[in-house]
Amino acid sequence: MAFGTELILLLASGFVLLGPKRMQKTLGQIGHAKAQFDKATRGFISDVTSGRDENPQCDASILENNEGQETGLVLPDDLFERILQREATCR
């Protein structure tokens, strides 16, 4: 069955089970929830993209506390270079 046919059958069965007034109210609630979800999604994407564009603030106390400590983590070369560049610009 195609998606359109299934949707029509679902709506028709909803009208039979719920009645026209409750079905209208239910569809309105579903539409409102979808609108809120879309708004939250756009806000999240906007926050993520705007945060990516900002320059990170340097915190000297964090850099001083982490000097000389080996974590045992292996970082990719490009990420390691970015960290070194950030530390150099913060000092």
Angle at 11 between CA 5 and CA 12, to 5 degrees: 90
What pLDDT, in 10s, does the model give residues 28-64? Answer: 999 999 999 999 999 888 887 776 655 555 555 555 5
Say if residue 13's pLDDT is above 80.
yes
E strand map for the chain: none
Percent of the chain with pLDDT over 70: 66
Confidence of residue 79 (pLDDT cuts 50, 70, 90): confident
Whether the pTM exceeds 0.75: the reply is no
Q: What is the pLDDT of residue 55?
A: 54
